[in-house]
Amino acid sequence: MTRPISHRAQAISPFHVMDILAQAKALQTRGHDIIHMEVGEPDFDTPKPIIEAGIKALEQARTHYTPALGLPELRQAIADWYQTHYKVKVSSDRIIVTPGASGALLLVMGALLDNGRKVMLADPGYPCNRHFARFVEAGGNAVPVTAESHYQLNAKHVEDYWDSQTSLALVASPSNPTGTVLTKTELAALSAAVKKQQGTLIVDEIYHGLTYDGFDAPTALEVDKDAFVINSFSKFFGMTGWRLGWLVVPEGYTEIMDRLAQNLYLAAPTMSQYAALAAFKPDTLATLEQRRQILQQRRDALMPALEQVGFKFAVKPQGAFYLYADCSAFLNEQIPDSMALSRFLLKEAGVAITPGLDFGLFEADKHCRFAYTTSEERLLEAADRIGKALNKS
């Protein structure tokens, strides 16, 4: 019997890092001490007030569906967050609670992309974006970006790479894998360039809150009322496993998103939505601020330690929890590319990292991503082990 698998599903490639992860797990089972720097989620647990609100929700048997657009109280709390944090007025009608930023990406691509259309994306960038586009029978228009544009799409890219099939541009600020942030001026220029092409801008703001050196990422809503903005409780709020995010849509798009949400997943998890009501409370925010400071310290410790070993950084990331490193100094006949380097470092140093290939094709062979989602002590130990392994080879 042949097993039917759609072309759509076949076209979606797995993460290369899964290979590394499987090997790392096998090594761990055999007693090896592996330092995980491939993981794209904070090591901190969900803040206590959120967990307590989740427990309370279960005790009160909040176990039924919520409206597809989300709990009205949570939509209002998110709208209030835009007012207090960004000084931007957004009506709660425009906020749609989703199962993670992933759910928001699915809604946006499903609602805005027709067959054969394309979404402009930065390469390197978050790999799932092009897969979401493929899933709705559309595609990615991947634009190679370098340190010159802070690894972000800019107005010039839009002018140079926009084609007749492209109708959307999607950026993440701070970005995964590079951690770079778009300023308000850059966002405004990007928005104007996209509008000039009659296109729509989508900004993934999932790493908002995790910015350093006094840098505060502006929301695209400050400069473009027609932009679609994606965010999540996963990263800054430490709620990856609760599967909760949100989408802010321009006026007039709520009804279509409601229809899609009803049909695709009915609603985001109820317990998680009640728990998230505690996410914007002062004591939660105080904990999150402490964590942000810890992440900044980790970045500041890890970056020079890796530079010392021989990795190069074309930019200092202002946000997220990733370092995107040029590893070409270590490539040779035995280790021809960053995937081989990732395998080598796992085997010889017991350190798991993510090869550049997971973020696109442009110069992917000579880049890798380090996530600083483990303690500073372990990060420094990892840099030390990496240095020893590479100097030996």
CA distance 266 to 68: 5
Query: Closer to ligand PLP at the Cβ: 221 or 386?
Result: 221
**How many residues line the site for ligand PLP (CB under 6 A)?**
13
Closer residue to ligand PLP, CB minimum distance, 272 or 342:
272
Q: Is 267 in the site for ligand PLP (CB under 6 A)?
A: no
CA 77, 80, 82: angle at the middle one, nearest 5?
A: 115
Q: Which residues, in sequence order, are CB contacts of 88 under 8 Å at separation 6+?
A: 82, 219, 221, 222
According to the binding rule CB under 6 A, does residue 96 interact with ligand PLP? no
Does residue 126 bind ligand PLP (CB under 6 A)?
yes
Q: CA 122, 125, 126, 131: dihedral to nearest 10 degrees?
A: 50
| Minimum CB distance to ligand PLP smaller for 267 or for 309 | 267
Could you tell me the smallest distance in angstroms from the CB atom of residue 179 to ligand PLP?
A: 11
- Stated length of the chain: 393
The verdict on 102 binding ligand PLP (CB under 6 A) reads yes
Give Cβ neighbours of residue 14 (< 8 Å, ≥ 6 apart).
Answer: none
- Pairwise CA distance, residues 87 & 170, whole Å: 23
Which is nearer to ligand PLP, 212 or 236 (by Cβ)? 236
Considering only residues 49, 54, 70, 100, which one is a binding residue for ligand PLP as defined by CB under 6 A? 100
**Any contact of residue 43 with ligand PLP (CB under 6 A)?**
no
Residue 99 Cβ, how far from ligand PLP at the closest point, in Å? 7
157: enclosing H helix or E strand? helix 155-161
Find the shortest distance in angstroms from Cβ 234 to ligand PLP: 4
Q: At closest approach, how far in Å is the CB of 126 from ligand PLP?
A: 4
232 binds ligand PLP (CB under 6 A): yes
Q: With CA atoms as reference, report the closest residue to 179 among 226, 228, 122.
A: 122
Radius of gyration in angstroms for the set of CA atoms belonging to the chain, rounded to a whole number: 21
Binding positions for ligand PLP, rule: CB under 6 A? 40, 100-102, 126, 172, 176, 204, 206, 232, 234, 240, 245
